[in-house]
Structures are given as structure tokens and as C-alpha cells.
Amino acid sequence: MCTGRVDLAFVLRAFSKGADGVFIGGCWPGECHYVTEGNYDVLKNVHIAKKILEKIGVNPDRLRLEWISASEGMRYAEVMNDFGKRLKELGPLGKGEGIEENALKLKLEAASKLIPYIKLVERERLRQRFKTEEEYSQFFASDELKKLFDDLVVNKLAVSQITLLLRDKPLSTSEIAQSLGMNASEVSRHLKNSTMHGLVRFDQGLKRYALA
């Protein structure tokens, strides 16, 4: 299967199922068997996925992309041994990051729910076609991309986590902040915007926020 077929949903689903790491191996750039150059598509998706993982508190090193041809059996073994060693260093998913199991499940669910939106953002605002791997790395490490990603994705991701958390019961700003490991002022800002958009409401009797 061409690595260009690897969807963001596949990566997040693997972590949601409890995988401690996800490895993607593809053809070397310039050696794609298809005219689509799918290895550059997966490179872009891995950069996006790593940013999402980082934003929900998961170490992005748990996702690894390597270029390995069919004739490089020794290299494949070395890469897998190295990746396995790195995962042992990181520890079990969630525990290694200090994230409680239910909180991690919620964060991954929140990210998964945003995939259709993230794909739209990628197509409309982030889609670039470069000729080298270095150019992709520079683009995704740029301040311009960081600002754009924060404005378009990170805020949506925070709101997605908050609304999922409120499914169970109404919560105060501080309770939400503590559960999600977020700053209380940041949570307050997201709650205010979510209230304006009719996603949540403030229950005067309970003095807590609930789903609208």
C-alpha cells in the first residue's frame, strides 16, 4: 500500500486502541511507484499528526516515519530496533506523559472528531508541494505555520476536548482546567466563545458550565 494512503485517522485510531507507538515506512522520495508521489503526502500528514499529538500532551516521538526500500532489510531491522528502544524509554502511552487513562482517551477522541475539519484546513490553507524533505520540515517548523495552526486548529481542539468533557456532567472552569491540564484563563476564553456560539451554557443554579 502506498504511504500516501495513510490517513490521519489511522494514526489516531492506533493510539486510541492503546498502541505505544506508530511506525510508517515508505519509499524514498523520488522513488515513488505512483505518479502521485504519495510519500510526500504522508510526510505532510506526519508533520500535522505530530503537531496534534504534541498539543494533546502525547510525545510526538511515538510517531515515526522512515524511508526504507524493499532491498534494505538490515536498515529496516536497525530502524525498528531503535524505535522499539525509544518507545521503552518513553514508557506506556499516557503513563509516560503523566496523562490519566480517561483523560488520554478523551483527548484522542477530541482530536479524532476534528479530522474532517483538519483535512479541510490542510486543503485550503496548509497544502504546499515542495521538492525536498527539508523544505517540508522548514515549512512546518516556521513561525507562520505555527501561528496559522494555532489559530485554525489548536483552538478547535481545545473546544472539542471541553465539550466532550461536559458530556458527563456540568463543570466549573477550574474543574475543566484541572481535568484537561489547561490554563484556567485559557479555558475561560474558550467557554466564553463556545457560549456565544451556542455550544455550552452557564447553569446559574449549579454555577457550572453544561452543554447547550
- Render 108-170 in DSSP notation, one character per residue: HHHHHHTHHHHHHHIIIII----SSHHHHHHHHHSHHHHHHHIIIIIHHHHHHHHHHHTTTS-
- Rounded to an integer, the average pLDDT of 99-128 is 92
Residue keyed to cell 479530522: 115
pLDDT at site 166: 96
Q: Which domain holds residue 156?
A: 3-165
Single pTM value for the model: 0.90
Give the percent of the chain with pLDDT over 70. Answer: 98
Number of domain units in the chain:
1
Among 5-9, 92-96, 126-130, the range scoring the smallest mean pLDDT is 126-130
Does 44 score more than 70 pLDDT?
A: yes
Any domain includes 22: yes
Q: How far is CA 29 from the centre of its chain?
A: 24
- Rounded to an integer, the average pLDDT of 202-212 is 94
- Rounded to an integer, the average pLDDT of 162-177 is 95
Write out pLDDT tens, residues 46-74: 999 999 999 999 999 999 999 998 889 99
Any domain includes 56: yes
Any domain includes 211: no
Any domain includes 182: no
pLDDT at site 35: 65
Q: How far is CA 120 from CA 26, 106, 111, 165, 209, in A?
A: 25, 22, 14, 25, 30
Mean pLDDT of the chain: 92
Any domain includes 16: yes
- Rounded to an integer, the average pLDDT of 99-107 is 94
Which of 40-49, 87-96, 119-128 is modeled with the greatest confidence?
Answer: 87-96
pLDDT at site 126: 83
Does 186 score more than 90 pLDDT?
A: yes
Answer positive or negative: Cα dihedral of 44, 47, 50, 56. Answer: negative
Any domain includes 62: yes
Any domain includes 78: yes
Any domain includes 206: no
